[in-house]
């Protein structure tokens, strides 16, 4: 595969277009030639199934050629499919890589039993959620729930294209690349490989919050919040077969008076409702419809819980600052934005202060958190960001959420707010043209001109040269 | 056999046509009726109440004192379900895809027995309890609000019909959707705490706390449909939904009596001494300390409504930074509940101090064994009256909250205002106690200039508001309110072409402790989708308060 010429003086951030998922390559000039950092490699199909555009293998091969399969650093922000599935799907390519260092969030550690047990519980919860969602009839919410579960577990309900699972990906990253990952939380000093340190790179870990007792307990409470919906909270799975009463009590709707179903009786103005028939089907339908909504809430909580495990890294190179926030949501952001220890402040009412404010006022590059979803970049954070930086958002339109309930991803008001302050580029505005793969841009818009540096579109990526 | 010589038996008053062929009794000088008297009027009127048995706390407390309670709910004729005028229990199970046989509470045997006896294995009892608790909760809330609750929307109001599914699915969850209450059942964990058998089936509908909580959700949605989904509104909803059943407990005389005796009157102690008295190390069950049931939402059900551990911790350690720092709405609600209880217990202390003093002056010891029954009885009366006062204040406070977005501090202002309208003198000092309890938990209004009762009460509206003509109000008064809004554009800050959203008028009628009848009318007028005013009128249609949405409410959400 053609190798693009690496920058000799500049730092380059490359966003590959893989669909709904993150795959970034940072290249900077080092003492012994260009040094490469990969941040995440994943994609997910999403609710609509449109998220996976089947370009990730092309992108990984391109990256392998570009880096000669040598990485100074690999960062895996969190264990969602749209951030890690590429590792197992492209295992033959990745297993040839030589990697100097791997960073993962503290939540991936294998040395703290309570953390590993917690992650295992989350996986079980996700599976219970899927079972509960599949038990009812499919509706709009069901698809959302299944998409969230698929992203969390890497298990497809119907076998999707490409293969790979989250479990295999984590296994490859942790055990298959010849180097043991370092697990970090805010406040810890990240150990940069010497090649990057000599190149003048500095890194600060901003998230996730350290797993002290309070934060861990909060997560346990959240887990209970999720668990209550799927009967898995207290250690057992829902049997699905619990018969609460003797069979003698089982009857059909005809044992009830027709007035029991009056809510669904046909009505016409000026007349009493017609309660001559039992509208029992309508009642059953109403009960069924109310249930997936509760499951959906649980799925959203589960999703946010994993996103908040994201490793948030601030790079600094020659006075330029680059913020990679993974998929951090509410709690994770607040922790470092408003100062450690006050992780639960309401970001809408507080003013930024101290280190959080200083960081946002000085960034040159921002990887838009969580594909531009609502809540992933707090209003206070956008307000606090300096003007004229560059933002990159890896996304595939029409994959999750909907405009009607203000849940579309990316969230339009957020991107509009970011565009007022930055030069913003989306991955889905880049067409992929490579051997056997041809995916047109789904977001029609020309590349903006940043105040500093420039954008260059490639065969399956867009570069920002700073 | 009636003796011919005996005087006739009059079963009803003689009627004008009862004198056919009558002669005068020579001794009495009264007519003697030859034919038996005819019955007059309707048969005897239906009873006012129907007695139904329920668990006060839940089946796990068994027949412990006060746990089996007889609720006297307003009588209505019931079809099997029970299905009544406003409440219908339909036992449909989504997990098993079946209905369970409905109970007929009008059945003679059941009615004479005061309802079915408690049983976990009989769905009929579950249906009875669900009906009774919904009916009773609704009655008390309506008493506090001073009106019959109706479902409001900008299009008008309609009768509130509550549909209850006591076993809607196998799940640890209980939730509402519109006016439907869905209670789940589930298998207890193998490590279930307390009195629950590992692996037994737990029914959320058998908890008054869960059902009362759900009724609050339904009623709040009916009376204040303008409130959106935000952290503040969720906090208010959850707090009120916990307060409603918790305050009920204090009117259960038997359980309060027992608690008073076992705490020597200090009813807010979280642990009760064993029924065999306090010992350093318990040897038998009767010596074991137990949780104070008045303070905790029932353990095995707590999880079903997202609550683990009740309100005790919040009550023990008021922390002025905790509320502001907390983002999870259940945890925030627990702090609000604790604040209300703090105030309530403070008033209890003040109002009973003289009783204890008299008791001690007579040689009584409060650290000794049981308090004498008359004293415990008087304390029970006080507790019940204070709990009712706070219950009324909280619910009437809801009517005095701004539209769309209600920060908890605005709810406090609403309660203070509502209570002032109820009893201006505040002889018990409840308003001051409530303010202080909120203050020590860091809940103070940003919109008030001072932390005094006068400053916290919503200001009296300026005199330039037009009057709502109360002479001829239609049902929802929407046409009249529209005319009022048209005349109040300046006061409401409306542009000439604005099309505000108007919610139907609701009335609150009650009698103040001064025996004065009081009527107030309220509505919500949204000038934009996120802002507006709650307007409270007096009985003459004059604007009493105009309560605006707080300024920063429109930008409350942290995300885009």
pLDDT digits (tens, 9 = 90+) for A424-447: 999 999 999 988 889 999 999 999
On the question of pLDDT at B293 being above 80, the answer is no
E strand or H helix that includes residue B151? strand B150-153
Q: Which of A299-303, A389-393, B369-373 has the highest mean pLDDT?
A: A389-393
pLDDT above 90 as % of chain B: 40
3-state secondary structure B445-479: CCCCCCCCHHHHCCCCCCCCCCCCCCCCCCCCCHH
Taking the model in full, what pTM does it have? 0.72
A137 touching B (Cβ < 8 Å): no
pLDDT digits (tens, 9 = 90+) for B138-197: 999 999 999 999 999 999 999 999 999 999 988 777 888 889 999 988 877 655 555 566
Query: Looking at residues B210-232, what average pLDDT do you find?
Result: 90
pLDDT digits (tens, 9 = 90+) for A361-371: 899 999 998 88
CA distance A219 to chain B (A): 11
A361 touching B (Cβ < 8 Å): no
Sorted by where each begins, the domain ranges of chain B are 1-41, 52-225, 245-398, 478-555
More confident call, B228 vs A84: A84
A27 bridge partner residues: A12, A36
Q: Mean pLDDT for chain B?
A: 82
d(CA A339, CA A356): 7
> What pLDDT shows up at residue A347?
41
> What pLDDT shows up at residue B19?
47
Residue among A256, A346, A411 whose CB faces B90 most closely: A256
d(CA A53, CA A44): 9
Q: Which residues of B touch A347 (CB under 8 A)?
A: 558
On the question of pLDDT at B448 being above 90, the answer is no
Query: Looking at residues B367-394, what average pLDDT do you find?
Result: 86
Q: What secondary structure letter does DSSP report for A441?
A: -
> What pLDDT shows up at residue B299?
52
Contact A330 B558 (CB under 8 A): yes
Contact A235 B186 (CB under 8 A): no
Contact B83 A257 (CB under 8 A): yes
Q: Write down the ipTM of this complex.
A: 0.82
Q: Which residues of B touch A252 (CB under 8 A)?
A: 98-99
pLDDT digits (tens, 9 = 90+) for A250-305: 999 999 999 999 989 888 888 888 888 899 999 998 888 777 666 777 777 777 77
> What pLDDT shows up at residue B209?
87
On the question of pLDDT at B94 being above 70, the answer is yes
User: Cα B333 to chain center, whole Å?
Assistant: 17
Contact B325 A236 (CB under 8 A): no
pLDDT digits (tens, 9 = 90+) for B65-82: 778 999 999 999 999 999
d(CA A17, CA A421): 24
Q: Is residue A144 very low, low, confident or very high in pLDDT (cuts 50, 70, 90)?
A: confident
A424 touching B (Cβ < 8 Å): no
A267 touching B (Cβ < 8 Å): no
Q: Mean pLDDT for chain A?
A: 83
Instruction: Give the residue among B236, B276, B253 at the shortest CA–CA distance from B397.
Output: B236
Residue among A249, A261, A375 whose CB faces B123 most closely: A249
Rg from Cα positions in chain A? 24
On the question of pLDDT at B311 being above 50, the answer is no
Domains of chain A: 12-230+298-465 (3.60.15.10)
| Residues within 8 A of B (CB atoms), A 426-465 only | none
pLDDT above 70 as % of chain A: 82
A159 touching B (Cβ < 8 Å): no
Instruction: Give the residue among B250, B290, B252 at the shortest CA–CA distance from B267.
Output: B250
> What pLDDT shows up at residue B543?
93
Given CA atoms A146, A152, A158, A160 in this order, what sign does their dihedral have? positive
Q: Which of A356-360, B224-228, B293-297, B305-309 has the highest mean pLDDT?
A: B224-228
Q: Which residues of B touch A233 (CB under 8 A)?
A: 172, 189, 303
Range with lowest mean pLDDT among B147-151, B247-251, B420-424, B467-471? B467-471
A228 touching B (Cβ < 8 Å): yes
CA distance A239 to chain B (A): 8
Angle at A313 (CA atoms; ends A312, A314), nearest 5 degrees: 130
CA distance B473 to chain A (A): 20
Range with lowest mean pLDDT among A77-91, B118-132, B270-284, B365-379? B270-284
> Over the range A234-246, which residues count as b (16 or more CB within 10 Å of their CB) and which as e?
bebebeeeeebbe
CA distance B160 to chain A (A): 11
Q: What secondary structure letter does DSSP report for B116?
A: P
> What pLDDT shows up at residue B279?
54
Contact A235 B190 (CB under 8 A): yes
Residue among A231, A250, A345 whose CB faces B171 most closely: A231
Residue among A229, A251, A256 whose CB faces B173 most closely: A229
More confident call, B260 vs B544: B544
On the question of pLDDT at B315 being above 80, the answer is no
CA distance A235 to chain B (A): 6
CB of A111 within 8 A of CB of A138?
A: no
Number of cross-chain residue pairs from A and B with Cβ atoms under 8 Å apart = 187
Q: Which residues of A touch B323 (CB under 8 A)?
A: none
On the question of pLDDT at A90 being above 60, the answer is yes
Report domain B52-225's class: alpha beta
Q: What secondary structure letter does DSSP report for B188?
A: P
B175 touching A (Cβ < 8 Å): yes
CB of B164 within 8 A of CB of B90?
A: yes
Contact A345 B96 (CB under 8 A): no
> What pLDDT shows up at residue B129?
97
More confident call, B115 vs B364: B115
Q: Which of A405-409, B6-10, B154-158, B192-196 has the highest mean pLDDT?
A: B154-158
Q: What secondary structure letter does DSSP report for B238?
A: H
Q: Is residue B54 very low, low, confident or very high in pLDDT (cuts 50, 70, 90)?
A: very high
Q: Which residue of A has its CA nearest to B559?
A: A375
> What pLDDT shows up at residue B312?
44
> What pLDDT shows up at residue B273?
59
B218 touching A (Cβ < 8 Å): no
pLDDT digits (tens, 9 = 90+) for A196-222: 999 999 999 988 877 765 555 556 555
More confident call, B192 vs A380: A380
Q: Which residue of A has its CA nearest to B79?
A: A257
> What pLDDT shows up at residue A159?
47
Query: Looking at residues A305-322, what average pLDDT do you find?
Result: 90
d(CA B177, CA B214): 10
């Amino acid at each position: 595969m053609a190798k693009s010429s690496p920058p000799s003086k500049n730092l380059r951030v490359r966003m590959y277009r893989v669909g709904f998922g993150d795959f970034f390559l940072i290249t900077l000039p080092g003492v012994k030639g260009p040094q490469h950092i990969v941040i995440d490699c994943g994609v997910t199909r999403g609710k609509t199934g449109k998220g996976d555009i089947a370009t990730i293998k092309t992108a990984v091969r391109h990256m392998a050629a570009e880096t000669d399969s040598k990485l100074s650093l690999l960062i895996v922000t969190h264990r969602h499919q749209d951030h890690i599935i590429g590792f197992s799907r492209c295992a033959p390519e990745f297993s040839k890589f030589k990697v100097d260092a791997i960073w993962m969030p503290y939540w991936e550690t294998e040395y703290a039993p309570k953390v590993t047990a917690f992650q295992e519980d989350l996986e079980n919860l996700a599976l219970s959620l899927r079972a509960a969602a599949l038990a009812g009839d499919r509706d709009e919410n069901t698809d959302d729930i299944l998409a969230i579960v698929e992203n969390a577990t890497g298990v497809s309900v119907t076998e999707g294209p490409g293969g790979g699972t989250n479990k295999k990906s984590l296994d490859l990253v942790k055990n298959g690349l010849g180097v043991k990952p370092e697990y970090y939380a805010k406040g810890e000093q990240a150990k940069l490989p010497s090649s990057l340190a000599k190149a003048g790179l500095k890194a600060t870990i901003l998230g996730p919050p350290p797993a002290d007792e309070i934060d861990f307990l909060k997560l346990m409470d959240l887990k209970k919040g999720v668990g209550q919906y799927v009967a898995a909270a207290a250690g057992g799975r829902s049997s699905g077969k619990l018969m609460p009463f003797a069979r003698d009590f089982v009857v059909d709707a005809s044992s009830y008076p027709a007035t029991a179903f009056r809510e669904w009786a046909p009505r016409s103005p000026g007349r009493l409702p017609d309660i001559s028939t039992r509208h029992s089907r309508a009642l059953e339908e109403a009960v069924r419809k109310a249930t997936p909504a509760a499951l959906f809430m649980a799925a959203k909580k589960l999703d946010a819980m994993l996103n908040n495990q994201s490793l948030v890294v601030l790079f600094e190179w020659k006075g330029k600052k680059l913020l990679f926030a993974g998929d951090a949501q509410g709690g994770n952001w607040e922790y470092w934005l408003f100062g450690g220890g006050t992780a639960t402040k309401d970001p809408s009412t507080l003013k930024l202060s101290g280190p959080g404010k200083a960081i946002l006022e000085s960034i040159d590059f921002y990887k838009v958190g969580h594909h531009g979803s609502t809540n992933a970049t707090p209003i206070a954070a956008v307000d606090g960001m300096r003007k004229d930086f560059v933002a990159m958002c890896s996304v595939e339109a029409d994959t999750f959420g909907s405009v009607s309930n203000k849940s579309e991803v990316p969230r339009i008001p957020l991107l509009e707010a970011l565009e007022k302050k930055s030069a913003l580029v989306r991955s889905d505005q880049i067409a992929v043209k490579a051997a056997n793969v041809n995916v047109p841009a789904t977001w029609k818009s020309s590349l903006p001109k940043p105040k500093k540096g420039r954008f260059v579109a490639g065969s399956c990526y867009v570069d920002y040269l700073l | 056999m009636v003796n011919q010589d005996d005087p006739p038996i009059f079963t009803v008053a003689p009627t004008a046509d009862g004198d056919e062929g009558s002669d005068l009794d020579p001794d009495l000088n009264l007519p003697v009726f030859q034919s038996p008297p005819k019955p007059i009027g309707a048969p005897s009127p239906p009873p006012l109440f129907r007695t139904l048995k329920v668990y006060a706390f839940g089946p796990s407390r068994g027949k412990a004192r006060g746990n089996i309670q007889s609720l006297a709910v307003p009588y209505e004729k019931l079809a099997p379900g029970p299905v009544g005028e406003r409440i219908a229990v339909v036992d449909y199970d989504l997990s098993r895809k079946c209905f369970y046989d409905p109970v007929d509470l009008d059945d003679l045997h059941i009615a004479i027995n005061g309802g079915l006896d408690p049983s976990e294995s009989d769905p009929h009892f579950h249906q009875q309890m669900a009906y009774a608790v919904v009916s009773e909760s609704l009655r008390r809330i309506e008493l506090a609000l001073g009106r019959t609750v109706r479902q409001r929307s900008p299009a008008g109001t309609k009768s509130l019909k509550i549909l209850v599914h006591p076993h809607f699915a196998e799940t640890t969850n209980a939730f509402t959707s519109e006016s439907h209450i869905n209670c789940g059942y589930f298998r207890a964990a193998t490590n279930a705490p307390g009195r629950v058998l590992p692996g037994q089936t737990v029914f959320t509908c058998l908890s008054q706390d869960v059902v009362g909580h759900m009724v609050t959700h339904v009623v709040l949605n009916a009376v204040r449909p303008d409130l959106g989904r935000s952290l503040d509104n969720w906090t208010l909803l959850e707090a009120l939904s916990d307060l409603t059943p918790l305050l009920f407990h204090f009117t259960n005389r038997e359980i309060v009596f027992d608690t008073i005796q076992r705490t020597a009157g200090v009813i807010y102690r979280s642990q009760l001494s064993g029924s065999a008295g306090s010992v350093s190390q318990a040897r038998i069950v009767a010596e074991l300390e137990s949780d104070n049931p008045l303070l905790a939402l029932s353990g095995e059900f707590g999880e079903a409504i997202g609550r683990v551990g009740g309100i005790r911790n919040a009550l023990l350690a008021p922390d002025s930074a905790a509320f502001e720092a907390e983002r999870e709405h259940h945890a925030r609600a627990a702090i609000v509940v604790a604040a209300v209880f703090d105030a309530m217990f403070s008033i209890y202390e003040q109002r009973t101090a003289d009783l204890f003093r008299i008791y001690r002056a007579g040689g009584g010891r409060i650290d000794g064994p049981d308090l004498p029954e008359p004293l415990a009885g008087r304390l029970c009366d006080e507790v019940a009256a204070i709990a009712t006062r706070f219950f009324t204040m909280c619910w009437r406070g809801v009517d005095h909250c701004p539209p769309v977005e209600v920060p908890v501090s605005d709810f406090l202002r609403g309660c203070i205002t509502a209570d002032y309208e109820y009893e201006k003198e505040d002889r018990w000092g409840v308003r001051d106690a409530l303010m202080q309890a909120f203050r020590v938990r860091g809940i103070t209004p940003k919109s008030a200039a001072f932390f005094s009762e006068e400053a916290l009460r919503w200001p009296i509206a300026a005199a330039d508001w037009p009057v709502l003509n109360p002479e001829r109000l239609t049902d929802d008064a929407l046409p009249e309110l529209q005319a009022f809004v048209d005349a109040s554009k300046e006061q409401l800050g409306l542009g000439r072409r604005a099309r505000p959203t108007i919610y139907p008028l609701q009335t609150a009628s009650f009698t103040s402790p001064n025996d004065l009848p009081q009527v107030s009318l309220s509505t919500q007028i949204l000038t934009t989708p996120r802002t507006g005013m709650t307007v409270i009128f007096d009985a003459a249609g004059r604007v009493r308060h105009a309560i605006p949405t707080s300024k920063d409410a429109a930008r409350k959400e942290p995300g885009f």
